[in-house]
Structure 1
Amino acid sequence: MKISTVLGGMAASASILACTTAFAQAGVPENGPSLRDLAPVQTYSVPDSDGAAPRALPPPGDDDAGSGLRIDAAAQADEQPEPLDLKGAWRPLRPTYAPGAWQPMGLDLLDDQTPSAGQTMAGLGWKLGSKNWNYTSAGGLGLTLGNASPTTPAWASSTTLGGVGLSKGLSPGNADTGQWQYATMVGALDYSPGTTEGGLDYGPAASTSVLRYGLSSNLTLESQMETAPAMKTMGLGGTYNTHQWGVWSAGVARASQEMDDGMRYQVGYQTSLLGRLQLSWVGEHRSAGFSDLSLYRNFADNEAQDSNLWKLTMPLGSYGDLSGSYQAIETPSGPPVEVFGVSHQFALNQNVKLALQAQRQRYTGDYDVGLQLSIPLN
């Protein structure tokens, strides 16, 4: 078997060689197709091309900064894009009714003047309070960040919120004729203890707003709205200043919470006696089911009541203010309550303030005595 296979291979080789010789003798050109054309790698001739002659680099100049390259400053300036002008782009789109004070951090984006490097927050209109930051612009716009007691009418009760407050043109007395004033605050009810130790304690989300309008130099109309989960309170009233005979205030409010609703009527009066003594009186009638933010936490315990509060304040100049108060409360379900109180507030020096307060109930004999010392840490 092995000898036959070898002989067969030799015969096949002789046949291929004979065929090749026959093709050559038949006139087939030597440069025609061959077995080399079937190889996976082929070679091709590439014509020679003359490269550019090398050039020497130009000598370095003053603008090269040791880099060895010369920079054309004019060409580079033309290639750089122009800086984006945000002021110029926003200026034509600014509405005509938008006040310039509506800019962040008390800065006007349209004002080309920038604060100096050493300018403080107080120079920008910000002031640090005991529990908040307050900003007041030149146009009368006020911004409060932190815990504060929002402005309320004289015929309403105040409370403390933690959040963001905004006000415009508020004045302590009557508004000028034709002037609008407003104040609003959005945040959460602050239940943190006032004078005792303890951490922060916040309640549900709440908001309050006040709108005032000066109908005349003596009469200012006021409205108030308070909201909290499942509660809404709306009130209308006003303040009338008689100048020589004191200031009267009155308001009526309606509230609804869950399935209850109620009304509140309040009248107040404030005047000066002998040019120095300040006398005030507040009378209030509240029906069952009435609730506002000051009563929201203990709404289940609220009931109808009539109350009268008298207060007499005597200024003592550098010795502070001495006040005495008397409050009488009547409820359908219990005996009347009468509370006498005395308080004295004065400054020990420029930074230290001291407050003394004492209260005693007439029928039960219970009494409270408090001492508060305030020292700023800044």
Structure 2
Amino acid sequence: MSAAIDDRTESIRMIRDSAGAVAPRGGDSKRVRALRFTPTGFDRAVFAEMGALGWFGLAVPEEAGGAGLGMSEAVALAEELGAGLAPEPLVPAMLSGRLLAAGDDAALLGGALTGEKVVLTAWQERADTLTVPGTPDAPRVFIPMAAGADTFLLPVREANRIALHALPAAGADVTIEKAMDGGNIGTLRADLSRATRVADDVGAVIEQALDEAALATSGLMLGLMERAFEMTLAYLRTRQQFGRIIGTFQSLQHRAADLKVHIALTRAAVESAAAVLDSGATGAVRQAAVSKAKHRAAESGMLVLRQCIQLHGGIGYTDEYDVGLYLRRGMVIMNQYGSATLHRRRFMALAPEDVE
């Protein structure tokens, strides 16, 4: 048992170290700022590097070409990329890899896992949901970084199963809107006559894959809030007012201590949920763990990020100061794969203390 724990700890440490090559903590924001509001919003070369590192297939079984690791590793990776503000669509790419691993198109799966192709899943038909209706002719909304996609995956309901189709992004009817963090979101009006069927039924996979995506997004939020807090502490320790370091003011110390508690509680919820999923939990147990973590990450994350802006004073509200980039990113991802409200309601409905 101890050896297994040591192996997992080492695996997580290596994942965190590898993230530094793409999004180093404390690195400058030149790359991130240069990519804001560009046509795709992210760097294709960096995306390919992420694929080469095996990140998109972390949770994909080894026999399907993935790394066969767990959510503890995926959450740790997401945390580091959140702290580094990497704009590349990590979580959407991981979701697509999970779905393609259940299909028959080995070439498309290989391209998605290696990062040679940007494959995004267009599953959402309305705001704030984790349900996949799979309506064939319904517009698919809120597709993150859709402007950079090579292929869209379309879950389509057929009687009691959900088939998966691949639609080339070239020539697709997509409306792109700019997001406040410099990225973009897309609305796709799908034409199945141009699509290729790549899986007969992903119904058993997609529910779990969306839960995993929600948890990985919680990891992103944890990284955002933790790094913004680190920046805020550094500011409080150097900024002077009335001849004193403002970090010595007791009222600001109390506020900083409160934020530290929120970060600690978020980390506990996220890492606990990852351990639950890695233990093989299914159904209500898995869903409750994910919802507890996502609710905590979204709600506490926005509280911490907003407070960090306020603790910086006027400079925190300027676009030139980096702490504001973290708030903008948090505002974009906080509702992806379910808002705090949705996950709070789901957690309460599941009554996990009654689940065996």
TM-score category, normalised to shorter length: under 0.3
More helix by share: 2
- Say which one has the larger Rg: 1
Higher RCO, Cα 8 Å, sep 6+: 2
The alignment's TM-score, normalised by the length of structure 1, stands at: 0.20
Higher strand share: 1
TM-score by length of 2: 0.21
